[in-house]
Amino acid sequence: MALGVEPGRAGDLTGGRLHGLLQPGRRGHVLDSAAVGADEVVVVFGEVLGELEAGEFTVGDDAVHEAGLLQHDEVPVDRALGEASAGGRFEELRDRHRARRVRQRFHDGQPIGGHPLMDASKPRRDGVLKSCRRRSALARCHVRSVRRNVDATERFAELVRRPRDEVPLDETALLIAKHAHPDLDLAVPLAELDRLAGDVPDASADDIATVLFGDGGLAGNTVDYGDPRNSYLDDVLARRLGIPISLSVVMIEVGRRRGVPIYGVGMPGHFLVQPVGELDVWFDPFHRGRRLDEAGCRELYEAMRLDPPFSIDMLRAVDTRSILSRMLANLQQTFMRRDPASLVWAVRLTLRLPDLLPGQRRQLAGLLGGVGRFIEAAVELEAVAPDLEGEDAEHVKRDATALRSRAN
């Protein structure tokens, strides 16, 4: 992180620039001149709660980590968080974007979406201050949180771009959870998976299912299926509750540790697993790891009253990327009902999966636009347009233009 605070008093605004420190309690945008020429830059916004010492950082929980995806009146920064130009040249971080809006007057009090302290109640602000112990520590707490999330996003993107059979399911699933739990130490749930594998007496899928869903206590959450914690692998291991796909991830990973390769099976409506080489054997982790044959899978599917009719093709194995995509899709559905603000990170992670079809990217852009991420949605649509032809391409371009107009 390379955005520092220069020495000065609260309230200093040098040279009439936007750079510098704002008065405590005042809301607005901060661009520090120390960021110019730095290796990494972020846009700082939110509420300055006190004097900051030189070398401290300020940042909001909605810090930008993709170039060109800033919204509302946040200032575009072309190399946000490590995205440098090929030639290594850095631009002056002046307020050129807002300066072009000759009819608009800059207003520090304009709300910025996403920051947890903006317009928050006094008890909530006091709680943040109490947890950070002192005012100047607040900035450092925020920057650590955001930096961890950015690292998790970058690491996820790096891993899913590997060849299909080299994408680690356990780590990537935990990186999804880390976006909800920034303080998560991946070593802890990974060690729990190791421990569970150590409890399996014999290297067979039946023994794994018995240990995990018997003495191990893992079970499907039949009380609150839509709880997002059912999709976070660390929570699944800690609470011993999950949904079919997250419980399947546990069984797949314990199997891998025991030398028992197990496939994920993406049956619509209910994820299953199948041991490699056992052609008429499946396991249902949601229902205590019960063993199924093809007839049992058909019965399970037909009980859900889904379309189309059951076929054996529904029991094909899927790769790790497909599992991650389905986990993120589940979270997107949950967040649309329960926590729209969290929908953004789930969509962003999905967009980092390689080989998405243009139609999928359009749909994801629509989700971003639906929660007010107009510029980000427009950028995604503009990236999709060259992959389309004729009226489809023109329609996407018009949608992108409309989204940009809503951000102004």
* Number of residues that this document lists for the chain: 408
Question: Closest Cα to residue 172, out of 192, 188, 152?
Answer: 152
| C-alpha to C-alpha distance for 268 and 310, rounded to whole angstroms | 9
Q: Which residue shows structure tokens 């928050």?
A: 120
Residues 264 and 322: beta-carbon distance below 8 Å: yes
Strand partners, 27: 47
Give the model's pLDDT for residue 408: 73
- Torsion of Cα atoms, 56 then 58 then 62 then 65, to 10°: -60
User: What's the alpha-carbon Rg for the chain, to the nearest Å?
Assistant: 24
Give the model's pLDDT for residue 7: 38
Q: Which residues contact 153 (CB under 8 A, 6 or more apart)?
A: 65, 179, 345, 348, 349, 352
Within the chain, which residues score under 70 in pLDDT?
Answer: 1-150
3-state secondary structure of 116: coil
Beta strand 219-220 with 241-242 is parallel
> What one-character-per-residue DSSP string does 325-379 give?
HHHHHHHHHHHHHH-GGGHHHHHHHHHTSTT--HHHHHHHHHHHHHTT-HHHHHH
* Secondary structure tally for the chain: helices H, strands E: 14, 9
3-state secondary structure of 184: coil
Phi first, then psi, for residue 200 (nearest 5°) are -80, 120
| C-alpha to C-alpha distance for 341 and 149, rounded to whole angstroms | 15
Give the model's pLDDT for residue 93: 33
Give the model's pLDDT for residue 150: 61
pLDDT tens, position by position, 127-156:
444 433 333 344 444 444 444 566 899 999
Question: Closest Cα to residue 46, out of 135, 142, 150?
Answer: 142
Q: What own/partner pairs with CB < 8 Å and gap ≥ 24 does 155-160 have?
A: 156/349, 156/352, 157/352, 160/321, 160/324, 160/352, 160/353, 160/354
- Torsion of Cα atoms, 120 then 123 then 126 then 128, to 10°: -60
Phi first, then psi, for residue 392 (nearest 5°) are -60, -45
pTM for this prediction: 0.67
| C-alpha to C-alpha distance for 310 and 169, rounded to whole angstroms | 28
Give the model's pLDDT for residue 103: 34
Beta strand 282-284 with 290-292 is antiparallel
Residues 233 and 249: beta-carbon distance below 8 Å: yes
Q: Which residues contact 198 (CB under 8 A, 6 or more apart)?
A: none
| C-alpha to C-alpha distance for 131 and 116, rounded to whole angstroms | 14
How many alpha carbons lie under 13 Å from residue 259 in its C-beta half-sphere? 3
